[in-house]
Structure 1
Amino acid sequence: MYAIFEDGSRQYRVSVGDKVRIDHREIAQGATLELPRVLMHADGANVTIGQPTVAGAKVIGEVVDHPSEKHVIQQFRRRKNHRRLKGHRQHFVEVKITQIVTG
């Protein structure tokens, strides 16, 4: 059994027990998060496709962590004494999927 949901203009395919990184939001660690925009739900041979979403379906997860990734952008031009270094830290919310409600 799996579902495809949309969050922040990105789509994720998840099953119960999966961990997924979604866009950052202010929510406490250990709190329950409800994701209502389910685009598709599949349970074996039964597939439900939404128009655009499946009515009453939602994905429920628990917030596990608030990780972040540091990206370093470096520019270098040889023989020109040109060096630039920029950094960017992207914050996420890591969610463990606990339940898929079909509606």
Structure 2
Amino acid sequence: MYAIVEIAGQQFKVAQDQKVYVHRLKGEEGSKVTFDTIFLLDNNGTISIGAPAIKGAEVTAKILGHLKGDKVIVFKKKRRKGYIKKNGHRQALTEIQIESITASGAKKTAPKKAETKAEAPKAEAPKAAAVTKDVSSMTVAELKALAKEQGISGYTSLKKAELIEALTK
């Protein structure tokens, strides 16, 4: 039985009683930690894949110790420029031992696709059948109200001739 689990921002393939070095975790030596972000679970040939994670499944581990990784030397040089820079780094790590992998929620079914309901087309706002008044003799307020009824927005950006043509059609 193994699982692919996210621990401290990285994904690891873990099995029971396996020791893993991960980025530094909060917790004392000897304490137990649980990880619930499990992406894949293999239980004796039965593979469960999460979408994105398997609900209910978890991995329990014991913190064995905190330590530093090997020294990494970062050396930068630009030739003929007199530029040399040397830095070192040791990553803070935690050694954990996987104690158990539980698959209580492993039998997750794929989410059902929502049936697309046939929506009735929205009824359009009824337009005024005909303009009874002479548009050229209307006031600006009346033209704005008539334009709003017809669904024309932004009267100020329209020229009066274009508005008259739109309203008389």
Q: CA RMSD of the aligned region, Å? A: 1.6
Q: TM-score, normalised to structure 1's length?
A: 0.87
Identity of aligned residues (%): 27
Q: TM-score, normalised to structure 2's length?
A: 0.55
- Secondary structure (helix, strand or coil) at the match of 1:66 reads strand
Q: Which runs of 4+ in 1 moved over 4 A?
A: 76-82
Residue 3 of structure 1 aligns with an amino acid whose one-letter code is: A
For the 8 Å contact 2:8–2:25, the answer to whether it is kept is no
2:54 and 2:41 map into 1 onto residues whose CA distance is: 8
Residue 91 of structure 2 aligns with an amino acid whose one-letter code is: Q
Which residue of structure 2 lines up, in the alignment, with residue 57 of structure 1?
57
Residue 90 of structure 2 aligns with an amino acid whose one-letter code is: R
1:82 and 1:45 map into 2 onto residues whose CA distance is: 57
Which residue of structure 2 lines up, in the alignment, with residue 91 of structure 1?
92
Which residue of structure 2 lines up, in the alignment, with residue 32 of structure 1?
32
Larger RCO: 1 or 2 (CA < 8 Å, sep 6+): 1
Cα distance per residue 1:70-89 (max 9 Å; x no partner)? 21112345666543211112
1:1-103 mapped onto 2 (5 Å cutoff):
1-69=1-69, 70-76=71-77, 82-103=83-104
Unaligned runs of at least 5 residues, structure 1:
none
Residue 75 of structure 1 aligns with an amino acid whose one-letter code is: K
- Secondary structure (helix, strand or coil) at the match of 2:6 reads strand
Unaligned runs of at least 5 residues, structure 2:
105-169
Cα distance per residue 1:22-76 (max 9 Å; x no partner)? 2212210111011110111111221111111111000000001212122111234
2:52 and 2:77 map into 1 onto residues whose CA distance is: 47
**Larger Rg belongs to:** 2
Bigger fraction of residues in helix: 2
2:45 and 2:66 map into 1 onto residues whose CA distance is: 36
1:42 and 1:62 map into 2 onto residues whose CA distance is: 21
2:17 and 2:83 map into 1 onto residues whose CA distance is: 48
Bigger fraction of residues in strand: 1
- With 37-46 and 67-76 compared, the bigger mean Cα shift is at 67-76
